[in-house]
Structure 1
Amino acid sequence: MIRTLATTSLLLLAACGGQATAPVSPDMPPVTRAFTDTDPVDFRGPGPDAYPVHGIDAARYQGRIDFRAARDAGVGFAYLKATEGGDRVDEAFAGNWAAAARAGVARGAYHFYYFCTPPEVQARWFIANVPKQTGSLPPVLDLEWNPFSPTCTHRPPAAEVRAQADRFLDILERHYGQRPVIYTTPDFWERNDIARLGEEVWLRSTAAHPSETYPGADWHFWQYTGTGRIRGVAGPVDINAFAGSRRDWQIWLARRAIR
C-alpha cells in the first residue's frame, strides 16, 4: 500500500493525546510521503494517513541507511537505538547518528531497558554513549518485556518497574535537560500501569489506533507498523506518526529539543 499524500487536505488529531480534530494549518507547505508496507492494516477510524509528520526508528538490523533518500521520501524524524542494558551499544548507532544529522533529519536516541541491571548503571551507560547535542530530540526509554534475552527475563512487580523507570528518567533529565519520552507496548503498558508515571509516551499499536489499544492514553508518538518500506532503508523498518499537525511538531521541537 503506497501512501503519497498532500497533507493540506487532511484532518488530523491534536498534539496532546489525539482527542480532538483540527485542520492542517494552511500556511504550512504540503509534504509528499512515499512509503510502502509489506503487511498493511486497514485501520478503523483515524489511521496513520491522518497525521502529516512521520518518522522511523532504526537499529543495526536496518543496515546502512541513506537518510537523504529517506528524508526525501517523507521521513521527518528518526529515533536510533543507542544502548541496551548496562554494557551494550548498537553497532550502527554512531554512523546513523552522524548520517541523520548530515541529512537534516531530526534525530534522537533510545535505550532498551534491562530489569537485571540497576537504572543508575543503565543511565550512566546511555550518557557515556549518546552525545548531548543541541537540537537533538529528547532521549527515549524503551520499556518492554524481552522474553528472548539470554541473560535477563526478570519481570519485577509493577511498582518496582515504575520506580526504576523514574530513577532512570531523572538521571537523563538532569544530564540532557529534557525529560525522556517512554516507548512501550500494549501488554507492558497495561500490566505495569505506565500511565501512572505521567510521562510523554510513544505507543506501539500495529493493528488498531492507539485510542483503541490504549483507551484514554495521552500519546505523542504512534508506532503503527514494523513492516514499512522506505527509500534509503534496505529492509523492513518501523514507521511512526506524531500526534499533531506540522505546526504542532515545530512547537513540540522548540519545547523539547535538547539545548
Structure 2
Amino acid sequence: MPRLLFALLATAVLATGCTSTSYDLMETSSVKRMRFKDNDPQDFGKNNPGRHEIHGIDLSKWNDENIDWQTVRKSGIAFVFIKATEGKDRVDPSFEHHWHNAAAAGIPHAPYHFYYFCSPPEEQADWFIANVPKQSVKLPPVLDVEWNHASPTCKLKPDAATVRDVMKRFMDRIEAYYGKRPIIYTSVDFHRDNLIGAFNDYHFWLRSVAAHPGEIYADRRWAFWQYTSTGVVPGIKGETDINVFAGTTRNWNSWVAAVSK
C-alpha cells in the first residue's frame, strides 16, 4: 500500500508537468505573493514559496503552547508536523499538547522523530512506537535526520553507508507498525554527505531557507519544503517554521485521503 500511495502522488504530479527534481506544479500559478510574513525574508526569485497553494508548519517544545488553533487554520495552514520523540528515551514535552490541539482544530498532522546516532535504530523505533499511538497517526510519520553539531552527548558522525543502513532499519520498523511509508526530513549538509541518490521511493521534506530546493539538492524530488524558521503565522506567538507542499490543492486532498486510510 505505501508504494501505491507514493505512486499515486508521483503520477498525479508528473501528469501535470513537474520538473525532474521536485513535485512543483506551480509553473502557471497565479499565486505570486508570499502568503505569510517573515521576520528574515529571503529572495527566492520566481520560484518563491508563495507560488504554492498548500502551506504548513512544524512545532516542538520551542514553540509557545498558547496557540489559537482556529486562527492558525483560518490563516491558511493546512498541515502540521509535530516533534514526538528523540533518540531512545526522550519525548518532546509539548508533543501531547500540540498533537491534541491540532487534532481538535481538524488540521492534518504527522509526528516526527529526531534521530540520535548514538542509539540503535530498533530501540529508537520502539520508543517512537511506545509514545505515538497507531490509531492517532493519519499522515505518514517523519524521520528527521540531520547533523546535530550542538549535541552535548553524541558527536558521532557515521559514514554514509552506515547512515543509510540505520535509517532503513528505523523506517522499516515504523512502516511495518503504522502501515505508512515514512517521510524523510533532512538538511542541505546531511543530504550532501549521505543521501544523494538514496531512498528515491520515499517522500522528502527538505530544509532550504536561502534558495529553492531544486538549486541545492542534487537530483532530489521533494514533497515538502521548509523555507523559513522565522515565519509569522497568525495565532502563534513568536517565529515559526513554515513549509509548503509541492503539489496543488487537488493533489494535496487526494494524497491526504489516500494516506489517512
Measured after TM superposition, the shift of residue 33 of structure 1 is 8.2
Please report how far the alpha carbon of residue 19 of structure 1 lies from its aligned counterpart in structure 2 after TM superposition: 5.6
Aligned to 1:8: none
Residues 1:202 and 2:208 are matched in the alignment: no
Q: Structure 1's 246 and 158: CA in aligned 2 closer, same or farther, altered over 3 A?
A: same
Paired residue secondary structure (2:197): helix
Contact 1:223–1:241 under 8 Å retained in 2:
yes
Question: Separation in 1 of the partners of 2:34 and 2:76?
Answer: 4
In the alignment, which of 97, 100, 104 is matched to residue 99 of structure 2? Answer: 97
**Residue equivalent to 2:150:** 148
Closer, same or farther: CA 256–17 of 1 in aligned 2, 3 Å = farther
Superposed, which structure 2 residues align to 1:69-108 within 5 Å? 69-108=71-110
Residue 3 of structure 2 is matched in structure 1 by none
Query: Does structure 1 residue 17 correspond to structure 2 residue 47?
Result: no
The yes-or-no answer on 1:237 pairing with 2:240 is: yes
Which digits, 9 at most, give the CA deviation of each residue in 1:154-181, with x for residues without a partner?
0000000000000000000011100100
Change in Cα spacing, 1:247 to 1:185, as seen in structure 2 (3 Å) is same
- How far did 1:45 drift? 2.9
Distance 1:20 1:229 in 2: 25
**Is this contact kept in 2: 1:63–1:92, CA < 8 A?**
no
1:100–1:107 contact (8 Å) kept in structure 2:
yes
SS state of the match for residue 226, structure 1? strand
Amino acid at match of 2:103: A
What SS is found at the alignment partner of 1:109?
A: strand
- How far has the Cα of 1:254 moved from its partner? 2.2
Say whether the 8 Å CA contact 1:13–1:245 is kept in structure 2: no
Provide the rounded CA distance (Å) in 1 between the counterparts of 2:231 and 2:24: 26
Does the Cα contact within 8 Å between 2:196 and 2:220 map onto a contact in 1?
no
Relative distance call for 1:134 and 1:189 in structure 2 (3 A) is same
Partner residue, 1:173: 175
Per the alignment, residue 3 of structure 1 pairs with none
| RMSD, aligned CA | 2.3
Give yes or no for contact 1:224–1:240 (8 Å, CA) kept in 2: yes
Q: CA separation of 1:97/1:134 partners in 2, compared to 1, >3 Å: closer, same or farther?
A: closer
* Partner Cα separation in structure 1 for residue 50 and residue 199 of structure 2: 29
Q: Is the 8 A contact 1:59 1:80 kept in 2?
A: yes
Q: Distance in 1 between matches of 2:197 and 2:245?
A: 19
Q: CA deviation digits over 1:116-140, x for unaligned, max 9?
A: 0000000000011112236621000
User: What is the TM-score with the length of structure 2 in the denominator?
Assistant: 0.87
Q: Determine if contact 1:69/1:231 at 8 Å carries over to the other structure.
A: yes
Distance across 1 between alignment mates of 2:146 and 2:78: 25
For residues 62 and 135 of structure 1, the distance between their equivalents in structure 2, rounded to whole angstroms, comes to 21
Q: Distance in 2 between matches of 1:188 and 1:171?
A: 22
Report if the CA contact (8 A) 2:203-2:223 is conserved.
Answer: yes
Which residue does 2:8 correspond to in 1? none
Q: Secondary structure at the match of 2:119?
A: coil
- Count of aligned residue pairs for this structure pair: 242
Report the TM-score when normalising by structure 1.
0.87
With over 3 angstroms needed to count, the CA separation of the structure-2 counterparts of 1:33 and 1:137, relative to structure 1, is: farther
Asked if 2 retains the 8 angstrom alpha-carbon contact of 1:13 and 1:243, the reply is no
- Give the corresponding residue for 2:227: 224
Partners of 2:102 and 2:108 within 8 A in 1: yes
Q: Which amino acid aligns with 2:127?
A: W
1:104–1:14 distance in 2 versus 1, CA, 3 Å: farther
